[in-house]
Homo-oligomer: A and B are copies of this chain.
Amino acid sequence: MVDSSFDNASALECLVDGQPAVTLSVLDRGLSYGDGVFETLRVAQGHIGLLEYHMARLRRGLCALRLTVDLVEITSELNAVAQRLRNGIIKLTLTRGTGPRGYAMPNTAQPTRICLSLPPAAYPAERFSAGITLFECQTRLAVQPLLAGIKHLNRLEQVLARSEWTDPAYAEGLVRDIGGDVIECTMSNLFIRHDGRWITPDLSGCGVQGVMRDYLIDRLGESGQPVVVRSIDYATVLQSTEIFCCNSLYGVWPIVGLADISWPVGPQTRHAQALAEQVIK
């Protein structure tokens, strides 16, 4: 930890290709082109939450980018880092490694693996108990089916959307696609309650397929509440009876305000929160 930026970021440990390091080559294609994927994993009592869901998304991303890595080795490293971290966040980044200038994938790509451990996210408890208000982002997500759903390193749209507000009254921002459909929040997925059913946006054109979203789809389905995955327009969101956002770090935050609409925290949202709590405690 010789780099002072590490103190600012509160990084606790960093391994690059399994070795303690805080830097990578300026020739890495992760930097040059965002040619890679990442995962942000919650660690509690040395245990990684939703690990199998993270690994499933990682596999989809690696497949989409045609990157080959040793997933057994990665899982082993993640678990070892989690044991040392005990409580916090692991950020895993996999890139296509260094290469000569130019977009062509190197024939002999040697991926770079960065495993960074960080302290727990410090979100106010009221977001969980009393709910949050959403900012309405103007940044629209482009439709790109080849990259939709995966957690790749091309995240300028999220950076632009998140930069639209600084008022801490908004804990998250609602993001729509170029066509106007509602897709997600800047760092979370969205569920809305409509006609007595949960609906979550279809992510086949854009958006990040969050692991908490996938987990909740599975658990709600098992509990007799199948989640409908389909395109959702803005009016439908405003007409919902309950609404929440979710990710693997904080679980479920009820949404109680958007535009001039307000919602109470409903019983179905508390049920989803309880399901999330089972894996993020």
Contacts and interface: CB of A to CB of B under 8 A. Distances in A.
Contact of A26 (B24, B29, B147, B160): B24
Contact of A156 (B33, B40, B143, B161): B33
A246 interface: no
A211 interface: no
B178 A144 contact: yes
Nearest to A157: B144
Given A3-B25, A22-B26, A156-B154, A103 B187 contact: yes
Interface residues of A, number: 66
Contacts of A194: none
Contacts of A153: 31-34, 156
Contacts of A276: none
Residue among A23, A29, A158, A206 facing the most chain B CB atoms (10 A cut-off): A23
Interface stretch (A6-14, A68-76, A225-233, A235-243): A6-14
Closest 3 CB pairs of A and B: A34-B34, A142-B142, A23-B23
